[in-house]
Amino acid sequence: MLEYKVYNKVSGKEDLVLLHGMGGNSNIFYKQLKYYREHFNVVTIHLPGHGNSPSLSHYGDNFSQELVSQEVIRTLEHLNIERAHFVGVSLGSIILHYMMKSHPERIQSAVLSGAITRFNVFSKFLLLIGRVFKSVTPHLWIYYLFAHIIMPRANHKTSRDIFIREASKMKREDFIGWFNSIDKVAQSYDLVPKLAKSIPKLYVSGSEDHLFIKNLKKDIQHDINATFKLIEKCGHVCNIERYKEFNKVTLDFLKGNRGVKPTKQIS
């Protein structure tokens, strides 16, 4: 069972599930919890290899991003949550895309922040460099380098430092396992506009999220139920860097989708 924390369970309030990014954990939502809890029952979940959730070695050769999405569903079943709103950051958005394809009826609405649908040429080059050196360097060196490339500016420092600090708690084998799976990002978004077309989606990206934003904007044009929000002068981790604007935009969206009944998915 994945590690989770239920912050409140009030009758009449709908459920909101928060999924963190790679190397981070639920601590990255410290600027959102107070505001989200006023309107929703909030659940945070640690993905495998993070916090006290099972290590990737627990899953052996079966580990994949698709499997992680199933583990999140299994955690919801344990909590008797049939349907919920979701907020996913970076890796969390990737897992959400897999869930949209396999269990769209579970998702009432979704906020995808710092979402990644595919890599550009430079990103692919960085992954290649990482693969070459991952077996001969400390894994935190790779994470440190990538964190500075993804979040290079001075105004990204707080979110960059938080992710590096939290990533230092990961085991090497867990980091490498996630790193090895990351090139399957494009598979996560494939068919989402078709299989999860009825799910309201809000994509939130910073204008300085230079590695991912261009492809993201192109890809979601084909999703009739996707809305894009750009936060100016902001990097990859909007919920930390520009949390006041992020909180307002996401809360307005989530509250606007309360009480929405599921519609039949058309394949």
Q: Is residue 267 part of a domain?
A: no
Q: Look at the block and give the residue holding tokens 């955690």.
A: 75
Q: Is residue 263 part of a domain?
A: no
Residues of the chain falling short of pLDDT 70: 262-267
Q: Is residue 229 part of a domain?
A: yes
Q: Is residue 217 part of a domain?
A: yes
Domain containing 124 equals: 4-256
Q: Is residue 264 part of a domain?
A: no
Q: Is residue 266 part of a domain?
A: no
What pTM was computed for the model? Answer: 0.94
Angle in degrees, 0-180, between the axes of helices 65-78 and 91-102, rounded to the nearest 10: 80
How many angstroms separate the CA atoms of 119 and 215, rounded?
8
pLDDT of residue 264: 54
Report, in angstroms and rounded to the nearest whole number, the Rg of the chain calculated over CA atoms: 17
DSSP strand E in 151-239: where? 201-206, 226-231
pLDDT of residue 266: 37
Question: What is the tally of helices (H) and strands (E) in the chain?
Answer: 12, 7
Q: Is residue 36 part of a domain?
A: yes
Domain count, the chain: 1
**pLDDT (tens digit, 9 = 90+) per residue, 134-159?**
888 898 899 999 999 999 999 999 99
CATH of the domain at 26: 3.40.50.1820
Q: Is residue 265 part of a domain?
A: no
